[in-house]
Amino acid sequence: MGLYILRRLGFIFLTLFLASVIIFIVTQFLPGDVARIILGQFATEAAIDNLREELGLNQPAYRQYLNWAGGFIRGDWGDSLVSRMPVRPIVMQRLGNSIMLAGLALCIYVPLGIVLGVIAALKQNKLPDQLISGISMAFVGLPEFVSGLLLITFLAIGAGWFPANSSIDPDAKFFESLPYLILPAVTVSLTGLGYVARMTRSGTIDVLGSDYTRAAELKGLPGRQVLVRHVLRNSLLPTVTIVAMGIGWLLGGLIVTEAVYGYPGLGRLLVYGIQRQDLPIIQAASMIVVAAYSFSNLAADIIYGLLNPRIRVGG
């Protein structure tokens, strides 16, 4: 297992390296002259030449990449082209916000999704199952800007229980920001819930039909013991994978939800950077998102391995 994790870590660094090359190529080279982007259409040739020299844009491509990547590893992520502020604190603060939102959303949809999925599996093809499966499918299909706006209309503007806008104060403590987090977290959970419930349902149905569940029932064990020790222990394995892989999505992929609520997360920072062509912001934010996806995948595999004796103990 140790060796396995080591190998996976090796692959993650390879992934990060390849991603950094792609990000660098896309941002530095493809859209045209970086110096022109920074200085605008009306800058003089001389000013642009000066800036090119200053930014090292006249050096060969691999040197530029090494400079950039080296700086990135050392923690020097450059300055924002728009605000002239260092990029790292901005990205880190947004990452913190995203983690808060992701954490709350996970706390809502994972337990709920598992419970609903197990109920649906136990009542397979009966009314509770049809309700749960139908509704969760509808939620998966509903775009976040629709569900978000509906929630804002009814729960924030209509009932007035939660604030409609979630642009939280950067200095606020977690509990002070909690009310602002709830609506976005619920919006995200509606999507996540569907995936978790459906995965749990199908996994549980498989295991309920397995020979070892039949064997456990014919041992005369109490129903609850059969369910917990024999069924769930095996049927939740695929769910664990789905949940862990969802973390990457929660951290970097909530662009729409964050936009609907004006929530200052990583996704919105990325959009903001792209709109203003703020290259260091785009680079740093994309690298963080790639890392989030890679590590949540690794987490998924490790947890799966820990729960599955076939991998944990080996043959």
Partner 1 sequence: MADREPVLKVENLTITYDTEKGPLHTVRNVSLQIAPGEIYGLVGESGSGKTTFARGVVRYLPSNGKITTGRISLSGTDLATLSHKQIRKVWGSRVTMVHQDPNASINPSMLIGDQIAEAMRVHLGLNKKQAGQKAIEMLNKVRMPDPELVARRYAHQLSGGMLQRVLIATAMATNPEFMIMDEPTTALDVTTEAVILDLIRELMSEYNTAILFITHNLGVIARICDRIGVLYAGELMEEGPIHEVFRNRLHPYTRGLLGCVPRVDASKKSITLSSIPGFIPRPNQLPPGCIFAPRCDLVEEACQLERPPLVEIGPSHLSSCRRVDCLRTRTKEVEQAREERIEELGPVVLEARNIKKYFPFSGGLTALVRGKKSVKAVDDISIRMRSSFTLGIVGESGCGKTTLARCIAGLEEATSGEIDLEGEHLDYSVSRREPAVLKKIQMVFQNPDASLNPQLPAGYSVARPLTLLRNMSKKQVQERVKELFAAVSLPPDYIDRLPHELSGGEKQRVAIARAFAADPVLMICDEPISSLDVSVQASLMNLLAELQGTAGTAYLFISHDLAAVRHLSDWIAVVYLGRLWEIGSAEDVFVPPYHPYTEALLSAIPIPDPDIEQDRIRLKGSVPSALNVPPGCRFHTRCPRKIGAVCETEEPPWREMEGGHRICCHIPIDELKTLQGGGLLKKAGQGGNR
> Interface with partner 1 by CB under 8 A: which residues?
3, 6-7, 10, 210-212, 214-222, 225, 229-230, 233-234, 307-310, 313, 315
Closest CB to partner 1 among residues 91, 231: 231
Residue 210 C-beta: closest distance to partner 1, Å: 7
- The residue (of 84 and 310) whose beta carbon lies closer to partner 1 is 310
CB of 215 to partner 1, least distance (A): 5
Is the CB of 74 or the CB of 224 nearer to partner 1?
224
Rounded to a whole number of angstroms, the CA Rg of the chain reads: 24
CB of residue 219 to partner 1, shortest distance in Å: 4
Distance CA 284, CA 146 (A): 30
Question: How crowded is residue 31: how many other Cβ atoms within 10 Å of its Cβ?
Answer: 12
Q: Which is nearer to partner 1, 140 or 307 (CB)?
A: 307
Minimum CB distance to partner 1 smaller for 231 or for 254? 231
3-class DSSP assignment, residue 125? coil
- C-beta of 9: minimal distance to partner 1 in Å? 11
Give least dist CB 138 to partner 1, A: 29
Nearest CA to 5 among 306, 234, 291, 293? 306
SS3 164: coil
Nearer to partner 1, 63 or 229 (CB): 229
Q: How many angstroms separate the CA atoms of 215 and 196, rounded?
A: 28
Spatial separation of the C-alpha atoms in residues 269 and 256, rounded to whole Å? 12
Give me 196's structure tokens: 């978790």
Residue 220 CB, nearest approach to partner 1 (Å): 3
Nearer to partner 1, 29 or 212 (CB): 212
Distances (CA, A) of 39 to 10, 36, 45, 195: 40, 5, 10, 46
> Shortest gap between Cβ of 167 and partner 1 (angstroms)?
46
Contact 267, 100 (CB under 8 A): no
CB-neighbour burial class of residue 168 (10 A; exposed 0-12, middle 13-18, buried 19+): buried
| Bridge partner list, 86 | 79
